[in-house]
Amino acid sequence: MPSYLVTGGRGQLGSDLGALLGGHAAVLGRDELDIADSEAIERSLAEHRPEVVVNCAAYHVVDACETDPAPPLQMNVVAVAELARACTRNGARLVHLSTNYVFPGDRDEPYGEEDLPDPRSIYAISKLAGEYAALSYAPRAIVVRSAGLYGEQGNASKGGNFVQRILARAEAGEPLRVVADQRLSPTYTPDLAVAIIEAVEAGVEGVLHLTSAGACSWHEFTEAILAEAGVEAEVTPAPTEPKPGLADRPRNGVLARPRADAAGLTPLRPWREALSAYLAGS
């Protein structure tokens, strides 16, 4: 197995990659490597000499991006460009994480890797620009688009991942009103970590879509969470209500994976099966 360096190593995906790779990886949180610091990037690459760098670091406070675009543009674009250049100089492959938000979500069919992106928010624009930076400055890069991530670590910036937040609200007796007209493939990060390593070992390059199999609305996902956890609560379906100053979300955020399938990569297990494993502590 090649040696890895994982940025954003304290987050959901980064921590799961670290657990899977063990001694083959240097897993660095932002306190250890801020990718917005180009000198820190060079020092880390010189110290650890990785063959593969997986960039899980990002600015993803989606609505805040609309009122202050400087942080996402710095972290999701400029820093990615610097990281990609550094990887090329040091002979390391780059794997960069992106999002289904790069698509508008205004059609019924899932979006494949070759479909033309059309971002509709500052966050999505920054992530798409980061993809271009990664692919331009690190020619052997893999850009992995995924969606609805949840894992063992939780999401510190949001007070836990979606599953944790729903269960906490239900157990507290809070009303649950969840959008029913946005569809996606919620993705379990331990499964995504396995898929990323498989893609690296297969020598795949370019854009890949890697999500849990199948799709659901956020409302359907919420009902599944409660059912799998054995928690009774009423969930009211709600329509998407665009609000001034908040980012647009794709109505259809489901990703197809023709390039990943053509490369012979193993599909991730269905989202409901992955959710059951997560709640069972697997």
pTM score: 0.96
Name the CATH code of domain 4-152+187-212+255-267 (choices 3.40.50.2300, 3.40.50.720, 3.20.20.100, 3.30.420.40): 3.40.50.720
Q: Could you give the CA distance from residue 124 to residue 119 in angstroms, rounded to a whole number?
A: 5
Among 190, 175, 182, which Cα is nearest to 282's?
190
Whether residue 154 contacts residue 189, with contact meaning beta carbons closer than 8 Å, is answered with: no
Whole-number average pLDDT of the chain? 96
Catalytic residues: 123
Res 158 pLDDT > 70? no
Residue ranges per structural domain of the chain: 4-152+187-212+255-267
Q: Classify residue 23 as exposed, middle or buried by CB count within 10 Å of its CB (0-12, 13-18, 19+).
A: exposed
pLDDT in tens, 97-155: 999 999 999 999 999 999 999 999 999 999 999 999 999 999 999 999 999 999 987 66
The mean pLDDT value for 154-160 works out to 66
